[in-house]
Amino acid sequence: MAGTPQETHSHEILNPYEGAPLPDHLIPELAYTPEVERETAHLYERVKRVIPPIEWPGFAPYVKAINDLKKHRNAVVLAHNYMTPEIFHCVADVVGDSLQLAREAAKADADVIVQCGVHFMAETSKLLNPNKTVLIPDSNAGCSLAESITGADVRALREAYPGVPIVTYVNTSAEVKAECDICCTSSNAVKVVESMGTDRVILIPDEFLAKYVASKTDVQIITWKGHCEVHERFTAEELRAYREADPGVKIIAHPECPPDVIGESDFTGSTSGMIQWVQDNQPSKVLLVTECSMSDNVAVETPGVEFVRPCNLCPHMKRITLPKILDSLIFLKEEVTVPEDVAEPARRAVERMINLNN
Ligand code: 13P
Ligand code: SF4
């Protein structure tokens, strides 16, 4: 088992991967040797502003082992913008928000997809790649929004509002997607809602995203009481205090935040929309009202920007670590599957969204 090396009587540490189903030269030693240091130096150069030198010897052997194994497995690593910098900048092949990751998953030509994000993201990749092996390094990486609603809840909404189309935020299980007409993400929600061509639309399960969309369209929005446990914790009061302390600071918020928090912000957008805004505007000081790793990941590429960090951690995203990614690639775990009777209608909802954007 990774992370639980056994001790011999002479206190020699056994390699936890000894005997793994791999050719000998790919069994990782996980030591910070001169070779590992040399082969990962270009990657440390990228992240040195956010990872202290004392921490790199702990990450580098995993980074090298993962990058070697990706080639052996013909695997691609898709990583959400909330992954920590050693994942985001050092082992990911594709990074992005939920929409970009879904689009890239649809194009992937690797045999194995390792989804560094939460479970609904891995399920979306599986829906779009039914014949590929889709792995998530920790299948307990959930989401408070996805857990707030079930397929039975959606069926009850259909009965209560006959004929009203149901748009589901991508942060839901495949079982919920299967009951809905189309999917959306934070970057295309207004466009998807308006594409329904009706006066009323049900948009589930994020109440705050739904309120944000309602403020941008004439379509009447019916919603659900789901919340993101990370974004609901921000308050307008704390943002006002930051602005009072420094009137020049720019405040950028994710649409999963409560409406009064969004009301205090200079820009609202998906995680990639937020990154793009910082890159385009290069503010001298910015406050990203979202998950903590975003600021680190953007700071790597925007050295002139100072980040104020009143961030909140997503405990689900933070379950994904380098040792677990390495385990995924060695043991081909944890495999994500969706029964075909659920996958078929859920895929239709996701593909309808992707085709709309194309
Ligand atoms: P994005 O699609 O904006 O990346 O949002 C996903 C998410 O889970 C934010 O909390
Ligand atoms: Fe879900 Fe919120 Fe975590 Fe995103 S940040 S995965 S919405 S709990």
Closest ligand 1 atom, residue 96 Cα: 4
For residues 160 and 303, give the distance between their C-alpha atoms in angstroms, rounded to a whole number.
Answer: 52
Closest CA to 123 of 86, 98, 151, 144: 98
Find tokens 């309120």 and name the residue.
Answer: 211
Which H helix or E strand runs over 278? helix 271-281
- Is the confidence at residue 10, as pLDDT, over 90? no
Centre of ligand 2 from the C-alpha of residue 28, in Å? 32
**Could you give the 3-state DSSP secondary structure of residue 336?**
coil
d(CA 136, CA 113): 9
Q: Which ligand is nearest to the CA of 233?
A: 2
Indicate which ligand has the atom closest to the C-alpha of 292: 2
Q: Which of 83, 176, 256, 314 to mutate to test the pocket of ligand 2 (most atoms within 8 A of CB)?
A: 314
Tokens found for residue 206:
């994020």
The residue to mutate among 172, 254, 291, 353, having the most atoms of ligand 1 within 8 angstroms of its beta carbon, is 254
As a whole number of angstroms, the distance between CA 105 and CA 112 comes to 11
Give me the pLDDT at residue 4, please: 44
Domains of the chain: 5-141+317-331 (3.40.50.10800), 146-228 (3.40.50.10800), 231-308 (3.40.50.10800)
Q: How far apart are CA 346 and CA 126, in angstroms?
A: 11
357 pLDDT exceeds 80?
no
Q: Is the pTM of this model over 0.85?
A: yes
Q: Which residues contact 294 (CB under 8 A, 6 or more apart)?
A: 81, 82, 271, 274, 275, 288, 311
Distance of CA 74 from the midpoint of ligand 1 (Å): 27
11 known ligand binder: no
Q: How confident is the model at residue 5 (pLDDT cuts 50, 70, 90)?
A: very low
User: What percentage of the chain carries pLDDT values higher than 90?
Assistant: 87
pLDDT over threshold 90, residue 259 = yes
Give residue 323 CA to ligand 2 midpoint distance, Å: 22
pLDDT interval class at 132 (50, 70, 90): very high
Q: How far apart are the C-alpha atoms of 28 and 15, rounded to whole Å? A: 8
Q: How far is the CA of 170 from the centre of ligand 2 (A)?
A: 11
Residue 157's identity, in one-letter code, is: L
Ligand-binding annotation for 305, yes or no, is no
Closest ligand 2 atom to Cα of 146: 1
For ligand 1, residues with CB inside 6 Å are 81, 97-98, 171, 185-186, 228, 254, 256, 270-271
On whether 42 is known to bind a ligand per the annotation, the reply is: no
pLDDT for res 14: 62
The per-residue pLDDT for range 301-316, each reduced to its tens digit, is 999 999 998 889 999 9
Residue among 204, 256, 289 whose CB has most ligand 2 atoms within 8 A, to mutate: 256
**pLDDT tens profile 235-255:** 999 999 999 999 999 999 999
Q: Which of 19-23, 195-199, 292-296 has the lowest mean pLDDT?
A: 19-23
Distance 296 CA to ligand 1 centre (A): 16
Phi and psi at residue 206, to the nearest 5°: -90, 110
pLDDT digits (tens, 9 = 90+) for 53-72: 999 999 999 999 999 999 99
